[in-house]
Chain A
């Protein structure tokens, strides 16, 4: 079973539209971390945000905002007034303790966002 599910494979929006990228996770840990990364066309992976499991406060950073809801095991990412530069693949990730006591960092399959001018 997928631990981190990004059901939206690809989304296309027109510039200035708002867009929400969904992320649903599965874990039995009570302490875990959630992340979003951006992979622009140039290919590098850029860290955007992390959330720990005890902090359900939503966060806003400029045009980006994140909605963490433990009740639905979701950590969604919204871009307001999208721009062409937002075009990228976005990955959601989960860090949790594995059965052997170490930590595993698990990525979703990514959502490709295309923002059209």
Chain B
């Protein structure tokens, strides 16, 4: 089944404790992206990747890191999480950067930083 797999689904952590949210897709998509969803703000892009070893900042990159060492994986790293990073996170992939066929989204990761 074609899908984007994110883990974990839920995570509660403490301020400053490094964490990684994994994202993997099995569709050979070139383009991958991370979004955070907050009430009243919709989905805002954190980072995106056009292909292996090619990543760039989205609209809200502060406090996050990403890497794209393999085409299928695009982990999101929070080196020192803070409470304002409490949010619902989505990984997405698409065949091309334009996303003209739409994005395929992961199931989401609900992160709480206390």
Contact = CB atoms under 8 A, between A and B. Distances in A.
Contacts of B1: none
A50 B100 contact: yes
Interface string B85-114: 000101010000111111111011000000
Interface residues of B, number: 26
Contact of A108 (B42, B48, B99): B42
Contact of B42 (A50, A52, A104, A110): A110
B97 A103 contact: yes
Contact of A43 (B41, B104, B107): B107
Majority SS at the chain A contact face: strand
A24 B37 CA distance: 20
A102 B102 contact: no
A68 to B, nearest CB: 15
A95 interface: yes
Contact of B105 (A6, A45, A108, A109): A45
Q: How large is the interface on A (under 10, 10 to 19, 20 to 34, 35 or more residues)?
A: 20 to 34
Given A43-B88, A91-B42, A95-B100, A102 B105 contact: no
A105 B105 contact: no
A47 B93 CA distance: 12
A44 B105 contact: yes
Given A95-B99, A103-B98, A105-B99, A44 B107 contact: yes
Interface in B21-61: 33, 35, 40-45, 48, 50, 56, 58
Nearest to B88: A43
With most chain B CB atoms within 10 A of its CB, the pick from A44, A105, A106 is A105
Interface of A: 6, 9, 33, 35, 37, 43-45, 47, 50, 52, 91, 95, 100, 102-110
Given A104-B45, A108-B42, 16 more contacts: A6-B42, A35-B102, A43-B107, A44-B108, A45-B108, A47-B102, A47-B103, A50-B100, A91-B42, A95-B98, A103-B97, A105-B33, A107-B35, A107-B42, A107-B44, A109-B41
